[in-house]
């Protein structure tokens, strides 16, 4: 696919929709009964994901994103139709991603009975916070990279989710708030303040190297509490966020990756 071509995206979306609709007539339980794990990283990782995310943002701005949402719906139906236990994806928005519109109260939306992990890198800002079982966000950044860069995807995604949820509360009469849970594994041992732009002042905080694991753990706990408070302010009292350092990252049951490079 030509990553820059709108036609390319839409043709790919249609082809995926068509394939999934066909498979969904029978369901994964009959076609692939032993399939228990799916890792989407090999299809939509890296730059491909960034190109898709840009296109989806354009679609959201033009309010033409139903095509995209419908595509994700077919993937959700596919995932729910078998014996899947674990799903992981790399990248934020693409047709085989984690749908941000899942619901436990809408009978048309399939139940999620499997664990979901999104592996992320700096530069993204639209990690999904679906309802249902908690979502896990895992940072792929090695310990030598700037922690500030991988904090941005978390804080921006939470802000984006809050904006989206608040507008749904305002605009959709039958919108029902459902609790969400986010488990984050992301830290590095290096921190320098993010640059704001050419000529602008930074906070003056000196670069910090070799932040100990204990210190990472303490900072993660505080940032998790702050993110949770942000979600609860506009959401429900049982919304929750837990943030852990990267050294605690469990092995992903879908793709097998674990703690990022600590050298
Ligand atoms: Zn994985």
**Local confidence pLDDT in tens for the 263 residues of the chain:** 444 555 677 788 888 888 889 999 999 999 899 999 999 876 666 666 677 777 777 776 666 666 666 667 888 889 999 999 999 998 777 778 887 666 666 777 788 899 999 999 998 888 999 888 999 999 999 999 999 999 999 999 999 899 988 888 888 887 888 999 999 999 999 998 765 544 444 444 667 788 999 999 999 999 999 999 999 999 999 999 999 999 999 999 999 999 999 99
On whether the CB atoms of residues 42 and 88 are closer than 8 A, the answer is no
Cα of 250 from ligand 1 centre, angstroms: 10
Cα of 25 from ligand 1 centre, angstroms: 28
Among 253, 119, 257, which residue's Cα sits nearest to residue 186?
119
Residue 255 lies in a domain: no
Residue 158: CB atoms within 10 A of its CB come to 21
- Please give the tally of structural domains in the chain: 1
Among 262, 261, 217, which residue's Cα sits nearest to residue 243?
217
Residue 38 lies in a domain: yes
Please state, in angstroms and rounded to a whole number, the distance separating the CA atoms of residues 7 and 92.
21
Residue 46 lies in a domain: yes
Residue 262 lies in a domain: no
For 79, the domain range is: 6-172+179-192+208-248
Cα of 137 from ligand 1 centre, angstroms: 10
Residue 92 lies in a domain: yes
Residue 198 lies in a domain: no
Residue 261 lies in a domain: no
């Amino acid at each position: 696919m030509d990553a820059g071509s709108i036609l390319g995206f839409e043709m790919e979306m249609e082809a995926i929709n068509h394939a999934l609709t066909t498979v969904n007539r029978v369901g994964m339980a009959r076609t692939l009964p032993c399939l228990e794990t799916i890792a989407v990283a090999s299809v939509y990782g890296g730059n491909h994901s960034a190109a898709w995310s840009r296109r989806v943002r354009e679609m959201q701005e033009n309010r033409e994103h139903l095509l995209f949402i419908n595509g994700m719906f077919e993937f959700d139906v596919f995932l729910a139709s078998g014996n899947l236990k674990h799903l992981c994806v790399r990248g934020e928005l693409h047709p085989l991603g984690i749908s941000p519109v899942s619901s436990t109260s809408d009978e048309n939306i399939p139940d999620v009975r499997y664990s979901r992990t999104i592996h992320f890198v700096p530069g993204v800002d639209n990690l999904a916070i679906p309802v249902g079982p908690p979502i896990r966000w895992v940072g792929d950044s090695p310990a030598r990279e700037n922690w500030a860069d991988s904090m941005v995807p978390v804080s921006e995604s939470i802000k984006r989710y809050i904006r989206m949820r608040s507008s749904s509360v305002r605009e959709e009469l039958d919108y029902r708030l459902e609790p969400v849970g986010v488990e984050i594994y992301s830290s590095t041992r290096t921190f320098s303040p993010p640059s704001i732009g050419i000529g602008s002042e930074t906070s003056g905080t000196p670069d910090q190297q070799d932040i100990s694991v204990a210190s990472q753990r303490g900072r993660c706990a505080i940032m998790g509490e702050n993110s949770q408070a942000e979600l609860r302010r506009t959401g429900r009292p049982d919304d929750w966020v837990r943030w852990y350092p990267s050294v605690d990252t469990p092995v992903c049951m879908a793709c097998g990756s674990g703690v990022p490079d600590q050298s």
